[in-house]
Amino acid sequence: MSVANQPLAGVRVLEFGTLIAGPFCARVLAEFGAEVIKVESPAGGDPLRKWRKLHEGTSLWWYLQSRNKRSLTLNLKHPDAVAIARELATQADIVIENFRPGVMEKLGLGWETLSALNPGLVMVRLSGFGQTGPKRDQPGFGAIGESMGGLRFITGYPDRPPVKTGISIGDSIAALWAALGAMMALRHREVNGGAGQVVDVALYEAVFAMMESLVPEYDLFGFIRERTGNVMPGITPSNTHTTRDDRHVIIGGNGDAIFKRLMHAVGRDDLAEDPDLASNAGRDARAVEIYGVIDAWVARHNLDQVLAILQDADVPATHTYSVADMLEDPQFQARGMIEQMRLADGRAVRMPGIVPRLTETPGGTRWPGPALGEHTDEILASLGRDAEEIARLRGCGAL
């Protein structure tokens, strides 16, 4: 796929991140045409290369997370490597890092240094607690951010300990905020004539920003939202129900008109026409009764029957999809949400498509995550280093 018609064509990104948050941010930019150089340690590279399921020794997650990126190995403990990193930063629009605050400064690659070399630079800094505050120096992973940001406290059932989601959601949310912040900073620089700046993303704040009305509800009413299982608190009905064939179906009947259609569909015309249930407040007051009715109806039918009846009634509903369901679903296929790439050994593998969909300047996958240091010589040659100098740098341990 050509980069020329992609929205971030010409944007140069230097990524120092490892694992999830920083690399996911860079992945989004790379998917829409940015040139991303990923700097990795020659001693094994990004640990994500060895996480979860491996194919020929390399993580399948890696191939997805680092698609469209180029890999450069630099030993940032070596002064020659730091000099190369600084040179690349002078040519970059965006630098992304997700080390603990202070690490980049110790390496000689902090904001003061890089911005002096490149006043237009946008530096995206992801960390557990941000670049300031009493906790700035503490280590913080996504799980810590999810807990401190409020997500874990409200996730799960009231009679059990809090639970996590099945993915690293805190890191991923932070990465998306970081990508958005980078785009806003570039917009300021390019349209308003502004200088570069730091985009400071704390994992706990990224999660905290998603917590809806949690704060004002507590501030005005002293209300602390608790775990409610699959029920959406204060919005009725919206829940998960189990079918006769032991499948799980999500039904969202919380709109006023939708609720009426749902009650007619399950054979409860009396509830559909009950004036006390015409609004959410009335339904929420009788949530136990309503959920009992829906539970009983769903339990009498197989999944296919439930979905067919609710589709005919124009009621939002779906079963809980496994990855196998996703790959077979015509909606995923029609929207290009499942695409195929070839790994270095020629093996074809399916991967998620690109989000969001842009009609005029769509993103795309050009190549899967690269081998460690695959583009080192190419990148150094673009900086004017000849083969003899590259050999010297490799021999002295800078690469």
Q: Are 111 and 101 in contact (CB under 8 A)?
A: no
CA–CA distance, 37 with 94 (Å, rounded to integer): 11
Please give the model's pTM, rounded to 2 decimal places: 0.94
| Residue 171 annotated as catalytic | yes
The DSSP line for 164-181 is --SS-HHHHHHHHHHHHH
Q: Are 123 and 198 in contact (CB under 8 A)?
A: yes
Catalytic residue among 80, 93, 137, 171: 171
pLDDT for residue 3: 78
| Chain position carrying tokens 């998306």 | 176
pLDDT tens for each residue of the chain, 399 residues long:
667 789 999 999 999 989 999 999 999 999 999 999 999 999 999 999 999 999 999 999 999 999 999 999 999 999 999 999 999 999 999 999 999 999 999 999 999 999 999 999 999 999 999 999 999 999 999 999 999 999 999 999 999 999 999 999 999 999 999 999 999 999 999 998 889 999 999 999 999 999 999 999 999 999 999 999 999 888 999 999 999 999 999 999 999 999 999 999 999 999 999 999 999 999 999 999 999 999 999 999 999 999 999 999 999 999 999 999 999 999 999 999 999 999 989 999 999 999 999 999 999 999 999 999 999 999 999 999 999 999 999 999 999
pLDDT for residue 252: 96
pLDDT for residue 232: 85
| Cis peptide bond upstream of 237, omega within 30 | yes
pLDDT for residue 1: 60
| Chain position carrying tokens 């559909």 | 272
pLDDT for residue 386: 97
Domains of the chain with bracketed CATH? 12-210+334-395 (3.40.50.10540), 238-321 (3.30.1540.10)
Q: What is the dihedral of CA 117, 370, 200, 149, to 10 degrees?
A: -170
- Report which of 315, 357, 305 is spatially closest to residue 335, judged by C-alpha positions: 357
